[in-house]
Homo-oligomer: A and B are copies of this chain.
Amino acid sequence: MSVRPISPVSRAPISGPPVSANVVWQHATVTRAHRQSQNGHRAVILWFTGLSGSGKSTLAHAVEERLHQRGCRSFVLDGDNVRHGLCGDLGFSAQDRQENIRRIGEVAKLFMEAGTIVLTAFISPYRADRRRVREMVSDADFIEIYCDAPIEICEARDVKGMYKKARAGQIAEFTGISSPYEAPDHPDIIVETGQAGLDDCVSRIMGELERREVIAKKA
């Protein structure tokens, strides 16, 4: 896709007394529309939510891989790159979880402005926190994907041994055990990550992105 030339939009022109005749400092703006045009796809937030062990991060990375193979710009925000960095100062109390999700929402919004399909993979257990992120952007920009897996299956997988620790009382406020998970009332996409294969879940999401005209239909 060709790059559209940018008209010199004057968003906040620097005025005041000119220092010398040749000093003209005009504010350029590469917009989200320019970037989407450059990338050949829309920028959206794919918000994965579900219990620990429901496969959010693995699924998000698998979708990202498929998007990358199709030439799209995408990025996954998950515990691995956020919890120790940007949100390294936060714990797991309801208040800290809320601030965690707020920051992730703000960063996701920035990535979207940058023209990226951003995939977030956090438990994000509270409906109100997820709703606040949706309200930061337009409704069409926020695609909530519910990774619906029974807790028994998540606990049987216990990828990081967290459920075992939570059952032993070694982790306080563990979602699904000692802290609530509020499933979405009206998620945009439901994937049954407890039963379905990874490829099936990826295809389901890719199909939905085509249907919503986020990405072009496969040639």
Contacts and interface: CB of A to CB of B under 8 A. Distances in A.
A199 B63 CA distance: 41
A176 to B, nearest CB: 16
B69 A16 contact: no
A58 to B, nearest CB: 5
A159 B68 contact: no
Interface stretch (A110-118, A138-146, A177-185, A203-211): A110-118
Contacts of A28: 58, 61-62, 64-65
A214 to B, nearest CB: 17
B26 A74 contact: no
A153 interface: yes
Given A29-B61, A58-B27, A38 B68 contact: yes
A23 interface: yes
The contact size tier of chain A is 35 or more
A24 interface: yes
Contact of A19 (B15, B38, B85, B153): B153
Contacts of A73: 35, 38, 73, 114-115
Interface string A34-73: 1100100000000000000001011101101100110101
Given A5-B69, A30-B68, A75-B114, 14 more contacts: A3-B68, A19-B156, A19-B195, A20-B195, A25-B55, A26-B58, A27-B57, A38-B68, A38-B73, A73-B115, A82-B110, A86-B103, A86-B110, A114-B116
14 contacts: A6-B68, A19-B156, A19-B194, A24-B198, A25-B198, A27-B57, A27-B61, A30-B64, A30-B65, A75-B110, A81-B113, A82-B110, A85-B136, A86-B103
